[in-house]
Amino acid sequence: MAAQEALQTPQAPALEGAEPAPRGGAPRWLWLGVLPAVIILELAATAYLVMNDFDKVHRAISRLRGITGGAVEQADARSKSTEARPGVFGTLENITINPAGTNGRRYLLVSFGLEAPEAAVLEEVREKDIIIRDQVIRILSQKTVEELADVSQREAIKQEVLEALNQTLQKGKIRQLYFTQYVLQ
C-alpha cells in the first residue's frame, strides 16, 4: 500500500475559477468541429473532380494504353451521337385500379411522368387520354397485390405499360416512363 502511495503524483489543490491544466493533444473543438468539416470538403472536392473530369481521364487512360487520339475521338463521337438528349416531359396522373383478386378491398393509385423526343408525342397522349388510361388500368388490374408491392417488379411493370402506350401512338414513341406516384393500399 505504501508503494502505491509513493507512485501517485501529488495534486495541487484546485483554485476557484481556475481552468484545469491542459492535457496533451489537440483541443476537443478541433476533433469535433474542424476535422469533420475538412473531411467533408475533401470528399466533395474529390467527387466534383471525378464527375467533371471523367471524360478527360478516360481519354488520357486510353492514350496511355496505346489507342491513338483519332480512335478516341471517333469513339467519343459515336457515343455522343447515340446518347439520348433530354426530351419533353408530360404527366399521366391519378390512375386508380383495383389489383387482381382483391374484390375491390385494395387499390393502387399511380401517376406517371412521360418523356418523349418531341412535344407532338405528348400532344397525342393528351388527345388519346381515355384510351391510354384504359390500357394502363387493364395492365395494372391484372397484377396481384404481391406483384404490385414487389419493388423488383416495378421496372418490368413500367416496361409493359410503356410498350402498350407506344403501340397506341402514331406520331412517335414515349422514350421513358417514370413513376411519380405509386400508392398501394
From CA 97, how far away is CA 83, in angstroms rounded? 36
Instruction: Identify the band that residue 82 occupies on the pLDDT scale cut at 50, 70 and 90.
Output: very low
From CA 100, how far away is CA 145, in angstroms rounded? 7
Tell me what percent of the residues of the chain surpass a pLDDT of 90. Answer: 40
Instruction: Identify the band that residue 37 occupies on the pLDDT scale cut at 50, 70 and 90.
Output: confident
| Average of per-residue pLDDT values in the chain | 76
Name the architecture of domain 88-184. Answer: 2-Layer Sandwich (3.30)
Position 87 scores a pLDDT of 84
**What length does the chain have?**
185
Task: Please say whether the beta carbons of 119 and 183 come within 8 A.
Answer: no
Name the nearest CA neighbour of 136 among 125, 151, 123, 120. Answer: 125
The amino acid at 18: A
**Which segment of 53-57, 122-126, 135-139 scores lowest on mean pLDDT?**
53-57
Position 55 pLDDT exceeds 80? no
Report domain extents, the chain: 28-82, 88-184
- Residue-wise pLDDT tens digits, 91-121: 899 999 999 988 889 999 999 999 999 999 9
